[in-house]
Amino acid sequence: MALHIDGPPKVVPGVEAPKAAKRRDKPGSWKLALKRDWRLYTLLALPLLYLLIFRYLPMAGNVIAFRQFQPGGSIFGEKWVGFKYVTLFINDPSFWQAFQNTIVLGVLTLLFCFPMPIIFALMLNELRSQKFKKFVQTVAYLPHFMSVVIIAGMILQNFSMTGTVNQIAESLFGTSVNFTQDPGWFRPMYISSEVWQTMGWGAILYLAALTRVDESLYEAARIDGANRWQQTWHVTLPAIRPTIVTLLILNIGTFMAVGFEKILLIYNPLNYATSDVISTYLYRVGLESSNFSYAAAIGMFESVIGLTLILSANAISKRVAGTSLW
């Protein structure tokens, strides 16, 4: 027995065992994590596979912007061609027209579609009847639940030669306008329909933020003699400022992607001069004329601008307003 206690063979495993146990128990080791949570990792397998195939593979597929692509061949293209397609679109006037249209529509969308939900939410907040408020909300959310195809159908009908808008134009000015084909009218048509579509639902996050404003702040403001307008300006608006900033960043992030599906449904060759945006142009170049690499180069340009915009908006707001997405 004594021999066993003193014997070196017994001591060595004794020393080794705690070492091994220590390695296994080290918090944060993958071995331990896998042993304990392997069931959670199996739950992750399918979603991660999905992300890999349908999200990250296409990102890598952007490499065809710099490679010769053969339909039916490898999704990563056949051979390197360098900046051939990039120089091609940089020298393409149609691309620059689409670029300009994208910027104009993006700015107009920000100018009109971003503030409207805030105003709408503030006005709803002033209502004293909760029932009426609920009713207005329910109605205003409706367009959000409609397929863009249905929205497009409604736009084209309302702005058609015999549609409601022309009936009004006829009675006011005695003339009707070919809204759906005249390039000069595409932007008003697009923006007004966009406001119609997004104003109600866009207010929802502001309304959520408004319900969390501390009631005592209003009391304090009233004691200080603030009227209703001053209360809105000095209490309500600062209270919902984080929400405003967050949504502004998100809006800037989608700046380049201006209503692609909707424009694709309502534009036509007669108004390309104002209606054709980068995404619709690359759709035609890529999928209607089968210039995959060329279109991929444009698409990459668009995505990179989008990412840059959101990163810089986020950085600016972090510094200036102290609010950021991450």
Residues 25-54 that bind other proteins (CB under 8 A): 28, 30, 33, 37, 39-41, 43-44, 46-48, 50-51, 53-54
How far is residue 110's CA from residue 313's CA, in Å, rounded to a whole number? 14
Q: Answer yes or no: are the C-beta atoms of 295 and 209 closer than 8 Å.
A: no
Question: Does the footprint of other proteins cover residue 127 (CB under 8 A)?
Answer: yes
Question: Does the footprint of other proteins cover residue 278 (CB under 8 A)?
Answer: no
Q: Which stretch binds other proteins (CB under 8 A): 79-87, 91-99, 179-187, 208-216?
A: 208-216
CB 183, min distance to other proteins, A: 19
Beta carbons within 10 angstroms of residue 50's beta carbon: 10
Q: Which stretch binds other proteins (CB under 8 A): 18-26, 78-86, 87-95, 305-313?
A: 305-313
CB 97, min distance to other proteins, A: 19
Residues 80-119 that bind other proteins (CB under 8 A): none
How far is residue 99's CA from residue 25's CA, in Å, rounded to a whole number? 57
Q: For residues 109 and 158, which CB has a smaller minimum distance to other proteins in the complex? A: 158
CB 54, min distance to other proteins, A: 5
x-or-dash string of contact with other proteins, 172-201, rule CB under 8 A:
------------------------x--xx-
How far is residue 117's CA from residue 244's CA, in Å, rounded to a whole number? 10
How far is residue 237's CA from residue 244's CA, in Å, rounded to a whole number? 9
Helix H segments across 26-126? 30-51, 57-61, 84-90, 93-113, 115-126
CB 108, min distance to other proteins, A: 19
Question: Does the footprint of other proteins cover residue 69 (CB under 8 A)?
Answer: yes
**Chain-centre distance for alpha carbon 207:** 20
CB 84, min distance to other proteins, A: 16
Of the candidates 226, 225, 251, the one whose C-alpha atom is nearest the C-alpha of residue 238 is 226
Applying CB under 8 A, what is the total number of residues that bind other proteins?
101
Question: Does the footprint of other proteins cover residue 131 (CB under 8 A)?
Answer: no
Cβ-count burial of 232 within 10 angstroms (0-12 exposed, 13-18 middle, 19+ buried)? middle
Q: For residues 4 and 36, which CB has a smaller minimum distance to other proteins in the complex? A: 36
Beta carbons within 10 angstroms of residue 298's beta carbon: 26
Q: For residues 63 and 108, which CB has a smaller minimum distance to other proteins in the complex? A: 63
Of the candidates 259, 2, 244, 214, the one whose C-alpha atom is nearest the C-alpha of residue 106 is 259
Q: Looking at 106, 117, 253, 259, which residue binds other proteins (CB under 8 A)?
A: 253
Residues 134-153 that bind other proteins (CB under 8 A): 135-136, 138-143, 145-150, 152-153
Q: Looking at 110, 177, 303, 305, which residue binds other proteins (CB under 8 A)?
A: 303
Q: Answer yes or no: are the C-beta atoms of 177 and 267 closer than 8 Å.
A: no
How far is residue 206's CA from residue 115's CA, in Å, rounded to a whole number? 11
In the numeric block, the tokens 């609010």 are attached to 323
CB 266, min distance to other proteins, A: 9
